[in-house]
């Protein structure tokens, strides 16, 4: 039996600063009050009802949180230039 070559992988890490975490926390708190994907009916489901989207640009990174219901929120600091 022949051994195959190991797969080559790339790992990228993205971070949120305190301002971006504040935007995230505020949106999650407000969104969870009106979204059908948050609540006892979905508790314990495998996975998360929301996900993060990071878009690297030449002058910065676009950061967004999206709910599986379709709503989303930019996490970029509105006072910071990209």
Beta sheet of 72-74, edge-to-edge order: 50-57, 60-67, 72-74
Question: Which residue is it, tokens 């301002």?
Answer: 19
Instruction: Determine the distance from the C-alpha atom of residue 26 to the mean position of all C-alpha atoms in its chain, rounded to a whole number.
Output: 14
pLDDT greater at residue 55 or residue 78? 55
| Per-residue model confidence as pLDDT tens digits over 6-46 | 788 888 889 999 999 999 999 999 998 898 877 666 656 66
79 band by pLDDT with thresholds 50, 70 and 90: confident
pTM reported for the whole predicted model? 0.74
| Per-residue model confidence as pLDDT tens digits over 50-63 | 889 999 888 889 99
> What is the predicted pLDDT for the residue at 44?
63
What is the residue extent of each domain of the chain? 20-26+48-82
The CA angle 17-65-44, to the nearest 5 degrees, is: 110
């Amino acid at each position: 039996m022949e051994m195959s070559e190991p797969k080559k992988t790339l790992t990228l890490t993205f971070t949120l600063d305190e301002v971006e975490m504040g935007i995230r926390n505020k949106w999650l708190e407000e969104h969870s009050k009106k979204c059908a994907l948050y609540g006892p009916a979905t508790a314990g489901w495998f996975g998360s009802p929301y996900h993060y989207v990071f878009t690297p640009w030449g002058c910065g990174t676009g950061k967004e949180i999206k709910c599986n219901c379709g709503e989303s929120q930019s996490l970029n600091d509105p006072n910071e230039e990209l």
